[in-house]
Amino acid sequence: MKYDDASWHYGGTFPSNSPQEYGGTHIALFLKWCFTKGWAGDLHLQEEPEDTRKVINGTMPANEFLFKYCDGKLTNEDFNSAGNAFAEKYYGDDGLYLHDYSKQFKDLMYIAPESAHDFNKYAAMMDSRLQSRILTKSQTTKPPKPWWRFW
């Protein structure tokens, strides 16, 4: 399953003076945060364990990892079962990830590198969403009151 692809972003309405890697920054940040949670997939843990650790400890930019090992794509192979359970909801079609990211980092979207993003602020946003367990748009809409309720 493919959750996102940087080419979907730099292939559309994208600032002409921004490098294509900026189209994957929001993807790379998500990947890094998931890795820090211990949700890296077996593919990365077996094939590139050293660089996976470097992403986690911040010595390798997640954007570099995303384009070097994932071809700019975020897929189910990138995560273990816990990571995929989270990504399927939060990053899926009904997910709130892009809404949350654009709300928090609107001024940086597509025009700034990963290093311009405050990862602690990003991680706090993600941790808060994970704790809330509200990961999808459908969870944010209140169901209509039953016809018999007056209060």
CA–CA dist 36, 58 (Å, integer): 10
Cβ contacts of residue 114 below 8 Å, gap of 6+? 25, 28, 29, 61, 62, 63
The per-residue pLDDT for range 88-113, each reduced to its tens digit, is 999 988 999 999 999 999 889 888 99
- pLDDT tens string, the chain, 151 residues long: the values are 999 988 888 877 778 888 889 989 999 999 999 999 999 999 999 999 999 999 999 999 999 999 999 999 999 999 999 999 999 999 988 999 999 999 999 889 888 999 999 999 999 999 999 999 999 998 987 655 565 655 5
CA distance to 11, 111, 127, 144, per residue, from 16 (Å): 11, 10, 33, 45
Provide the token pair at 79.
């995560």
State pTM to two decimals.
0.90
Q: What is the pLDDT of residue 151?
A: 53
